[in-house]
Amino acid sequence: MEENKKESLNFPVVLFDSKCPMCVRFAQGISKLDPESEKINVVDLHQRWIYENHSFLDYEKVQEDIHFINEDHKIFIGKEAISQMAMLIPQVKKFNWLIESESGQKALEYFYNATNRLKTSLRKSCPECTKRVR
């Protein structure tokens, strides 16, 4: 999308970092899991109009962790964002009982933490990312 002050997010939405190869792959994965329903809108977090038109979002915070915003504009961050998205994707929804179980939550937390460690490692070697890391 082009920058345009009249644009608005179409909820539910996940904001992804188009400058991070791992994040791009994640966004592509979401789109491939359920291409027809388009239940989750995938939007590049670097578009300025998002923050101009949706003051409840902070660009610095959105860059730090995955953000999912549901239809009620409730913001989920990190592993909670992944859990919320999983409930909307039919192919994953079949396994909600597993995701909601104690062992499923532990597995989700492990996956999320491992992914964050990899993302942090990638940021350290990425010239574009190191400009953004505090």
* Domain total of the chain: 1
Say if 68 falls within a structural domain: yes
pLDDT at residue 128 in the model: 61
Say if 3 falls within a structural domain: no
Say if 85 falls within a structural domain: yes
Beta strands 75-77 and 41-44 are unpaired
pTM of the model as a whole: 0.73
Say if 67 falls within a structural domain: yes
Cβ–Cβ under 8 Å, residues 4 and 34:
no
Say if 8 falls within a structural domain: no
Say if 23 falls within a structural domain: yes
Residue-number span of the structural domain to which 34 is assigned: 13-127
| CA nearest neighbour of 85 among 110, 59, 61, 112 | 112
Task: Give the model confidence (pLDDT) of 42-75 as tens digits.
Answer: 999 999 999 998 898 999 999 888 899 999 999 9
Give the mean model confidence (pLDDT) for residues 125-130: 60
Its sign, for the CA torsion 118, 85, 31, 3, is: negative
SS3 39: coil
Say if 7 falls within a structural domain: no
Residue 96 has pLDDT above 50, yes or no: yes
